[in-house]
Amino acid sequence: MSDLAIRAVQLSKQYRIGAAKYRHNTLRDQLADGVKSLFRLRNRRKRDKNTIWALKDVSFEVKQGEVLGIIGLNGAGKSTLLKLLSRITEPTEGRAEIYGRVGSLLEVGTGFSFELTGRENIYLNGAILGMKKAEIERKFGEIVEFSELEKFIETPLKHYSSGMYVRLAFAVAAHLDPDILLIDEVLSVGDLSFQRKCMQHAKRLQKRNATVLVVSHNMFSIKALCERVIYLSQGRIRVDGSPAEAIELYERESRLHIAPWAQRVVGGEQDRQGIYVTDMQLLDESGHRRSVFDYGDRMRVRIRFNAVEKILSPNFNVSFIRSDNVACCNYNTAMDGVTISCVFGEGSIELLTPPLKLTAELYTAHVMVWDDKYERLYSAQVGDTFHVRHDVLNTHFGVFHESAEWLGVPDGDKASRMKMSGGVER
């Protein structure tokens, strides 16, 4: 048992839908609640239709030194699980056993005061996490250096960006020297270089036998960090195994789901949208299905859709999103000079891209349907993933690479010439 860091035993969390979080109870409210409680006692075995299980019967163990990834679609219960493990909320059923000092980075701004400066918030947040004042003072310089916020440390947090919050919060949580570090999706707010810095720090924590739990939609981070992954679906564990096994199921079940950022606009149910994509295929120029493309290849994106209502002047968009959520390029009918007057019922459309000049990485194809003026969004869905392959060009070279023309320029009055191969001699 000495090598055990976390044990979850049938962890379950139930929430009441539509329950008011903040209200001032009057005497009438209290009397009404008392009457309601009598009826609840009489119908204790009757299922309450106004409740939902965010997590149900989740059991697992994590050993010291493990880096465990937790993945799943929105609403799968990932953040609820971390809140139960960090004691922010209590389980409805089951229990969680934690062995060691816990550091958590769950929500941007948690444990911070926006009116206080960065310096003051380091002391405040450190104290909330359980650090002694002497420990904070000893590590203050390291925390500030790690956060890269030296110039802003005397600035109130209300002037910080969300990325700056994350830098400060992670720096404090990481220097707690926790036995267990819980990291939620907030790291996606930081820039790419800081995400890598955090990943490197998590690996250093692992080397000193600390346990790390990471919740993320970024499969690149999960693959790079984790040796084991739990895939949650509708509050239950579907897979507890290798990253490859869990990620494969995640990507298969997330295919063509509604993009998280668009749910507030188009709704959460696909079949209630005016138009939605029923199938997407990524093909090579000859029409064969591919998941790996070489730099310079052309790609066919074949889209089948169902318009349940008449959509006037639809503008079909396909975007390629890198695994670190960088939007790399977008093709759309409106800007490419294609006019579609109306669609209704089932149909299909196909995009043939120019030669792909993206650097080598993993990408996801997103498909959207706007109107031709980009004023109304009808649909936004996440499609298939694909790799671009190149021996040299990777993300260190940026998003894409196009060959340029290089010219030899004389230096002042000197009539020197440069011998160039492939460029233009001048």
Cα separation, 334 vs 31, whole angstroms: 61
Q: Where are the domains of the chain?
A: 4-253, 257-397
Confidence of residue 332 (pLDDT cuts 50, 70, 90): very high
| pLDDT at 190 (0 to 100) | 54
Specify the CATH class of 257-397 in words: mainly beta
Cα separation, 174 vs 187, whole angstroms: 13
The first and second tokens of residue 204, run together, are: 């250093």
Amino acid at site 301: V
- pLDDT tens, position by position, 337-392: 999 999 999 999 999 999 999 998 888 899 999 998 899 999 999 888 888 988 88
Average pLDDT, stretch 395-403? 85
Q: Is the dihedral of CA 249, 255, 261, 267 positive or negative?
A: negative
What kind of fold does domain 4-253 have according to CATH? Rossmann fold (3.40.50)
- pLDDT tens, position by position, 261-320: 888 888 767 667 889 999 999 999 999 998 889 999 999 999 999 999 999 999 999 999
Cα separation, 198 vs 190, whole angstroms: 10
- pLDDT tens, position by position, 172-211: 877 877 889 888 765 555 556 677 777 788 788 888 888 9
> Which of residues 24 and 339 earns the better pLDDT score?
339
Question: Nearest-5° angle of CA 82, CA 83, CA 84?
Answer: 90
